[in-house]
């Protein structure tokens, strides 16, 4: 589970970026131009999910959300400010129940387990129209970066808890985040949600 220190650190970084929880933003008395900026850049976190909502989702889809992500949605916000297209940020975890996201595949194991023989890191894995849903098994959609590129969290399978990038829309590949999509990988796969999200915040604070 993500530690209390991690939660406190994330909340401090969000405060430094002037990101508010939805209920705080609704009651803050601020000038219209500032409110417009907040809306445009989505400097707001969604309301937190309850433990009951998370447990019901897990039971329905036969999965267990990674501990750091579960902590985020129940103690910080169920989506909102974060990686993704301008004004969108992170989706609520329920977004993956959209019919177009094939929620029936959430409880099927993500098919990639270990990097190919002789490699320490996963190279981009080719994906075709025929294999697309096979490789999307066990993936919960976290965000849409734009141009069809998705940030996804492995919720079922050997890479459970890692964030991967689905770029079928452009390069017809899937793989651990590279470049602006996440921190350099420290293992054979993608970063944990906690590392991925804090890396994003640190990048915003450096601007």
Q: How do the pLDDT tens digits run along the chain, 207 residues long? A: 568 899 999 999 999 999 998 888 777 777 877 777 777 778 899 999 999 999 999 999 999 999 999 999 999 999 999 999 887 899 999 999 887 778 899 999 999 998 888 888 888 899 999 999 999 999 999 999 999 999 999 999 999 999 999 999 998 999 999 888 888 776 778 999 999 999 999 999 998
Residue that the structure tokens 């976190």 belong to:
45
Per-residue CA distances from 158 to 10, 40, 114, 120, 150 (Å): 27, 38, 8, 16, 20
Domain ranges of the chain: 4-205
This prediction has a pTM of 0.92
């Amino acid at each position: 589970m993500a530690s209390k220190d991690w939660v406190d650190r994330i909340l401090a970084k969000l405060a430094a970026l002037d990101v508010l929880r939805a209920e705080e933003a609704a009651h803050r008395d601020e000038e219209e131009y500032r409110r417009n900026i907040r809306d445009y850049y989505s400097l707001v976190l969604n309301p937190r999910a309850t433990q009951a909502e998370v447990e019901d989702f897990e039971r329905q889809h036969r999965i267990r959300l990674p501990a750091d992500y579960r902590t985020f949605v129940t103690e910080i916000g169920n989506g909102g400010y974060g990686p993704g297209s301008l004004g969108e940020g992170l989706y609520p975890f329920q977004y993956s129940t959209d019919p177009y996201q094939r929620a029936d595949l959430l409880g099927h194991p993500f098919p990639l387990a270990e990097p190919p023989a002789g490699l320490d890191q996963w190279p981009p894995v080719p994906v075709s129209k025929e294999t697309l849903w096979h490789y999307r098994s066990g993936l919960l959609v976290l965000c849409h970066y734009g141009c069809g590129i998705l940030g996804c969290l492995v919720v079922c399978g050997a890479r459970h808890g890692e964030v991967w990038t689905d770029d079928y829309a452009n390069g017809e590949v899937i793989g651990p985040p590279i470049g602006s999509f996440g921190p350099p990988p420290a293992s054979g796969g993608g970063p944990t949600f906690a590392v991925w999200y804090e890396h994003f915040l640190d990048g915003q604070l450096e601007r």
